[in-house]
Structure 1
Amino acid sequence: MKRYLLSLLFGCTALPYVCLADSFIVSDIRVDGLQRVSEGTVFNALPLTIGDEVNAQAITEATRGLFKTGYFQDIRLARDGNVLVITVVERPSISSIDIEGNKAIDTEKLLDGLKQEGLAPGEIYEQATLEAIRLQLERQYVAQGRYGAKIESEITPLPRNRVGIKINIKEGKVATIEHINIVGNNIYPNDDLLELFQLQPSGLFSFYTDDNKYSREKLSGDLERLRSYYLDRGYINFNITSTQVSISPDKEEVYITVNIHEGEKYTIRDVKLAGDIKVPEPEMRKLIVVKQGDTFSRKAITKTEEFLARRLGNDGYTFANVNTIPQPHEEDNSVSVTFFVDPGKRVYVRRVNFIGNTKTEDEVLRREMRQMEGSWASTHKIEQSKTRLDRLGYFKEVNVETTPVAGTTDQIDVNYAVEEQASGSVSASVGFSQGSGLILGGNISQRNFLGTGNRVNLGLNTSKSRTLYRFGFYDPYYTVDGVSRGFDVFYRTTDYEEKDISNYSTDVWGGSVTFGYPLSETSNLSFGFGLDQTEVKTGTNTAKQIQEFIDEEGDKYLNYKFNIGWNQSTLNRGVLATRGYSQSLGLELALPGSDLQFYKVNYRGQLFKPLTDSLTLHLKTNLGYGDSIGSTSEMPFIEHYYAGGFGSVRGFKDNTLGPRAIRKDNTDDDPIGGNVLVEGTAEVIFPLPFIRDQRSIRSAVFLDAGNVFDTSCSSDENNCSNVDLGELRYSAGFGVTWITGLGPLTFSLAKALNADSDDETEVFQFALGQTF
Structure 2
Amino acid sequence: KFGDVKVESELRDFDSEAMTQRLGIASGDWYDAKRIEDTVEQMTDLAGTFGYAFAEVQPQFTRNPEDLTMDVTFTMQDAPRVYVERVDVNGNTLTQDKVVRREFRVAEGDAFNSLAIARSEARIKSLGYFQENFEITQVEGSAPDRIVLEANVEEQPTGELQLSAGFSSIESFILAGSIRQRNFRGRGQTIGLGVNYSRYSKSANISFAEPYVFDRNISMGADIYHREYDNSFFTTEAFSYSQATTGGQIRLGTPLTEYMSLIGSYTLNFEDVTVGESYYADYNGDGVAECIGSRFLCEAIGKRTASILGLTLNYDSLDSRLRPTRGMRVSMTGEFAGLGGDVKYFRWRSNLGKYWNLGNDFIFSLTAEGGWIKALEDRNEPGIDDVRLTDRFFLGEPQFRGFDIRGVGPRVVRLNYITDTETGEQRLQTLDEIRENNNRQYDTAIGGNAYYLGRAELEIPLGSSVREMGIRPSVYVDVGSLFSVTTPILDDYPNGIQRREDGELLYEKPVVNDEGDVTGVEYVTDATAPDGTAYDPAIIPGTQYREVFYGDSASPRISVGVGVNWNSPFGPFRIDLTHVLKKQEGDDTKTISFNVGTQF
Smaller-chain TM-score range?
0.7 to 0.9
Q: Distance in 2 between matches of 1:546 and 1:396?
A: 57
Q: Distance in 2 between matches of 1:459 and 1:334?
A: 65
1:743 Cα deviation after fit:
5.8
Match of 1:519 in 2: 256
State the Cα RMSD in Å: 3.6
Match of 2:211 in 1: 476
Please give the secondary structure, in 1, of the residue aligned with 2:213: coil
Alignment of 1:74-113 (within 5 A): none
Q: Distance in 1 between matches of 2:82 and 2:444?
A: 68
Q: Distance in 1 between matches of 2:131 and 2:248?
A: 33
1:638 Cα deviation after fit:
1.0
The answer on 1:427 being equivalent to 2:161 is yes
Does the 8 Å contact 2:377/2:386 carry over to 1?
A: no
Match of 1:686 in 2: 460
1:320 Cα deviation after fit:
0.8
Q: Distance in 1 between matches of 2:99 and 2:248?
A: 27
1:396 Cα deviation after fit:
4.2
Q: Distance in 1 between matches of 2:559 and 2:240?
A: 27
Q: Distance in 2 between matches of 1:286 and 1:520?
A: 32
Among candidates 712, 730, 745, match of residue 558 of structure 2: 730
Please give the secondary structure, in 2, of the residue aligned with 1:399: coil
Structure 1 residues 296 and 737: alpha-carbon distance in aligned structure 2, compared to 1, 3 A threshold: closer
Please give the secondary structure, in 2, of the residue aligned with 1:490: strand
| CA displacement, residues 253-309 of structure 1 (integer Å, 9 cap, x when unaligned) | xxxxxxxxxxxxx365xx454423235779856753345786776655544443333
Match of 1:201 in 2: none
Match of 1:371 in 2: 106
| CA displacement, residues 119-156 of structure 1 (integer Å, 9 cap, x when unaligned) | xxxxxxxxxxxxxxxxxxxxxxxxxxxxxxxxxxxxxx
1:549 Cα deviation after fit:
4.7
Please give the secondary structure, in 1, of the residue aligned with 2:120: helix
1:691 Cα deviation after fit:
4.2
Q: Distance in 2 between matches of 1:519 and 1:324?
A: 41
Match of 1:646 in 2: 398
| Larger helix share, 1 or 2 | 1
Q: Distance in 2 between matches of 1:374 and 1:499?
A: 64
Q: Distance in 1 between matches of 2:230 and 2:298?
A: 20
Q: Distance in 1 between matches of 2:84 and 2:369?
A: 43
Match of 2:325 in 1: 578
Higher relative contact order (CA 8 A, sep 6+): 2
Among candidates 231, 235, 244, match of residue 507 of structure 1: 244
1:503 Cα deviation after fit:
2.1
Letter in 1 for 2:387: M
Alignment of 1:149-168 (within 5 A): none
* Residues matched between the structures, number: 498
1:576 Cα deviation after fit:
2.4
Q: Distance in 1 between matches of 2:362 and 2:35?
A: 24
Does the 8 Å contact 2:449/2:484 carry over to 1?
A: yes
| Larger strand share, 1 or 2 | 2
Letter in 2 for 1:723: A
Query: TM-score, normalization: structure 2?
Result: 0.73
Alignment of 1:743-762 (within 5 A): 744-755=572-583, 758-762=586-590
Query: TM-score, normalization: structure 1?
Result: 0.58
Does the 8 Å contact 2:274/2:301 carry over to 1?
A: no
Alignment of 1:15-34 (within 5 A): none
* Greater mean deviation of Cα atoms: 324-333 or 665-674: 324-333
State, as a whole percentage, how many aligned pairs show the same letter. 28
Q: Distance in 2 between matches of 1:422 and 1:658?
A: 40
Does the 8 Å contact 1:274/1:338 carry over to 2?
A: no
Q: Distance in 1 between matches of 2:179 and 2:479?
A: 34
Structure 1 residues 377 and 705: alpha-carbon distance in aligned structure 2, compared to 1, 3 A threshold: same
Among candidates 549, 557, 567, match of residue 314 of structure 2: 567
Q: Distance in 2 between matches of 1:396 and 1:622?
A: 31
Q: Distance in 2 between matches of 1:403 and 1:389?
A: 16
The answer on 1:602 being equivalent to 2:319 is no
Letter in 1 for 2:112: A
1:316 Cα deviation after fit:
2.4
Among candidates 525, 531, 551, match of residue 720 of structure 1: 551
Alignment of 1:612-651 (within 5 A): 612-632=359-379, 634-648=386-400, 650-651=401-402
* Greater mean deviation of Cα atoms: 691-700 or 365-374: 691-700
1:536 Cα deviation after fit:
0.5
1:386 Cα deviation after fit:
0.4
Structure 1 residues 572 and 494: alpha-carbon distance in aligned structure 2, compared to 1, 3 A threshold: same
Q: Distance in 1 between matches of 2:7 and 2:575?
A: 56
Does the 8 Å contact 2:121/2:136 carry over to 1?
A: no
Q: Distance in 2 between matches of 1:641 and 1:663?
A: 22
1:603 Cα deviation after fit:
1.5
Q: Distance in 2 between matches of 1:687 and 1:545?
A: 57
Match of 1:410 in 2: 145
Q: Distance in 1 between matches of 2:262 and 2:149?
A: 31
1:745 Cα deviation after fit:
2.6
The answer on 1:277 being equivalent to 2:51 is no
1:535 Cα deviation after fit:
0.6
In our comparison, the structure showing a higher alpha carbon Rg is 1
Q: Distance in 2 between matches of 1:386 and 1:482?
A: 18
Q: Structure 2: give runs of 5+ residues left out of the alignment.
A: 281-290, 380-384, 418-428, 430-441, 491-547
Match of 2:412 in 1: 661
